[in-house]
Amino acid sequence: MKACLAFVPVALALVAWTAGCAAAANGPDTRLGQEFSLSVGQSRRIQGEELTVKFLEVASDSRCPSKVTCIWAGEVKALVDVAHSGSVNQVVLTQPV
């Protein structure tokens, strides 16, 4: 299964506050506040912010499969590296929050 995670601007703003060091991005530059998607191993540089986000792995995934009735919709947690101004922090993003 190809793991893909869509980052919403609110999550990106939250990540920016906890950030760390610049690593080379392997995707096109993105503006702060612009929504983007990453697959495991991909990264994205945020224009003008000395900020790079890299999707490391899906830490957990308890989402309800399609065509199944579940009591709880579940959640997915993604481990990301956030690099900013010379330092790197690992952050876990959870959807839904």
Rounded CA separation 73/48 (Å):
37
The set of residues, in sequence order, having a beta carbon less than 8 Å from that of 43 and lying 6+ positions away, is 23, 24, 25, 26, 27, 52, 53, 54, 55, 81
> One digit per residue, pLDDT tens: the chain, 97 residues?
333 344 333 344 434 433 333 334 466 789 999 999 999 999 999 999 999 999 999 999 999 888 989 988 899 999 999 999 889 999 999 998 5
- The residue extents of the domains of the chain are 4-95
